[in-house]
Amino acid sequence: MAEFDDERIASPKQRRKAAGLDRFLTVAGLALAGASAFFPWYVFFNEDKFGINVAASDNSRELPDWPARNVFSVSPLAMVNKNEPDKKAPPIDPLTTATVSDLGKEREGRPILEDQPFPGKSSFRLLHVSNGRALIEDTSGMYVVRVGSILPDQSRLATIEQREGKWMIVTSKGETYQNN
């Protein structure tokens, strides 16, 4: 045990070295603590150096109260061929039945009806128009569409127009939907 106690006793040179290291660590710790306490105030008073720069913009969700403008360019999808004779649409059975279609079969001189549309009217509606895009809703959800987009009734959006203060969309099939 005597040998072990002798090893623990340090020389005066080692004690001075350890005391100097302790003073240095104490001063460094106090300086770090002071800087840590001061830094948030520095950031607070110099917000322009540390803040987030947001680009100024005039974006709004509301449409401006401008008068309606004339439409000068019309999408080719909205144009109707005047040279083509009017085809009368075949009668549509409004009831869903479990019958087999005779499409492709000629019966008693009646023509073959291959372009019969799906029964019933499309169930989507126009909700809002902004920045050349329209918000529409159907049973499966809401969609943002623009000219050329495919609509739920499998037509394409031809134009977005404002008539008599109300927004309307015109499809490639010539159907119009008005904002309520």
Under DSSP, is residue 143 helix (H, G, I), strand (E, B) or coil? strand
What does the block give as tokens for 14? 């080692």
- What does the pLDDT average to over 42-66? 72
* Contacts of residue 78, Cβ cutoff 8 Å, sequence gap at least 6: 158, 159, 170, 172, 174
Using the predicted structure, report yes or no on whether residue 55 has a pLDDT greater than 70. Answer: no
- What does the pLDDT average to over 134-140? 86
Using the predicted structure, report yes or no on whether residue 37 has a pLDDT greater than 90. Answer: yes
pLDDT at 131: 85
The mean-pLDDT minimum among 1-5, 49-53, 108-112 falls in 1-5
Using the predicted structure, report yes or no on whether residue 120 has a pLDDT greater than 60. Answer: no
pLDDT at 113: 53
DSSP secondary structure code for residue 156 in this structure: B
Percentage with pLDDT > 90 across the chain: 12
Number of Cα atoms under 13 Å in the Cβ half of residue 141: 3
Q: CA-CA distance, 71 to 52, in Å (whole number)?
A: 41
